[in-house]
Amino acid sequence: MTITLSIPGIAADDLPLEEQAYRRLRQALVEGVFAPGEKLSIRRVAEALGTSPMPARTALRRLATEQALDALPSGTVLVPRLTRAAFQEVSAIRAELEPLAIRLAASRVDSGTLDALAAVVAEQDAARAAGRPELCLQKDREFLFGLYRQAGAPMLLGMIEALWLRRGPLFWEARWIVMGSPPEAAHRHGPILAALRRGAGEEAARELKAEIERMTAFLSGALQFEDEVPAMPRAMRARA
């Protein structure tokens, strides 16, 4: 029962079903649609996606391979619980890789791109002032990845994306905390931009590293992790 969802000529989604499944699952993971610890069975996901089990199976395997999902020895795959240790591990790796990306980008970025990034920072500040946390986080991501893309290092970019994916659900839950947090916990991208304009890549990298470590310390104190929650809520959301 294959149902074409849109006119084949117009649609941009002529991608393989497996790719669509992968992206939708990935998006759902970032958005925190699934509860940590929830089992994702191939057939259930396939049904939710309206496809045969095959694309779902491949997509789930891909996500498990990049550790965005955990795999049981039986083969069953489930949404990982981000423990405190895992959060700190992800943060420690970020604190090494993202400054490296900044250093690489520093010698390649042009002033036009820096202007565009400055605009993103301004939009982020506006979003924060307007009390729109999800837009604020989106702009934050836009700024950083816009910069990382300039590094011209595709593998590094992929690894950083995987880290963000892993951290995704937790960070999404934490957005309200971030909004109501004291000023010292807010991202400060201005100094990074300033350093880059001066061509001081090393300094920009140090700024970012400090920012990540500051944010990690704050969240580490503000968040309650999966391994510290006595009872698991176990939400039953089958949508994908």
Partner DNA sequence: GCCGAAAAAATGTGATCACAAAGCTCCACC
Partner DNA sequence: GGTGGAGCTTTGTGATCACATTTTTTCGGC
Site string for a second copy, 140-179 (x = CB under 8 A): ------------xxxxx-xx------x-------------
* 3-class state of residue 18 by DSSP: helix
Residues binding a second copy: what is the number (CB under 8 A)? 26
Torsion of CA 94, 100, 105, 106, to 10 degrees: 120
The interface partner of residue 42, options being a second copy, DNA, none and the CB cut-off 5 to 8 Å by kind, is: DNA
Packed helices 201-222 and 84-106: angle between N→C axes, nearest 10 degrees: 160
Which among DNA, a second copy, none contacts residue 197 (Cβ within 5 to 8 A by kind)?
A: none
State the binding partner of 44 from a second copy, DNA, none, CB within 5 to 8 A by kind.
DNA
Q: How far apart are CA 182 and CA 108, in angstroms?
A: 35
| DSSP β-bridge partners for residue 71 | 77
**Sheet strand arrangement including 77-78:** 39-40, 77-78, 70-71
Which of these segments, 62-70, 109-117, 125-133, 212-220, binds a second copy (CB under 8 A)? Answer: 62-70
Among 41, 67, 113, 138, binds a second copy (CB under 8 A): 67
In the complex, which residues of this chain contact DNA (CB under 7 A)?
1-2, 16-19, 40-44, 51-55, 57-58, 61, 72, 74-77
DSSP collapsed to 3 states, 52-86: CHHHHHHHHHHHHHCCCCEECCCCCEECCCCCHHH
Phi, psi of 40 (to 5 degrees): -110, 100
Q: Which helix (H) or strand (E) holds 40?
A: strand 39-40
Which residue type is seen at 63?
L
74 binds, among a second copy, DNA, none (CB under 5 to 8 A by kind): DNA
Which residue do the tokens 């069953």 mark? 76
Residue closer to a second copy, measured from CB, 54 or 130:
54
Q: Using CB under 8 A, which of 6, 27, 65, 224 touches a second copy?
A: 65
Q: How many CB atoms lie within 10 A of CB 207?
A: 22
| Closer CB to DNA, 53 or 191, in the complex | 53
Under the criterion CB under 8 A, does residue 75 sit at the interface with a second copy? Answer: yes
How many Cβ atoms sit within 10 Å of the Cβ of residue 78?
Answer: 18
227, interface contact from DNA, a second copy, none, CB < 5-8 Å by kind: none
Binding site for a second copy (CB under 8 A): 16, 58, 61-62, 65-67, 75, 85-86, 89-90, 92-93, 96-97, 100, 104, 152-156, 158-159, 166
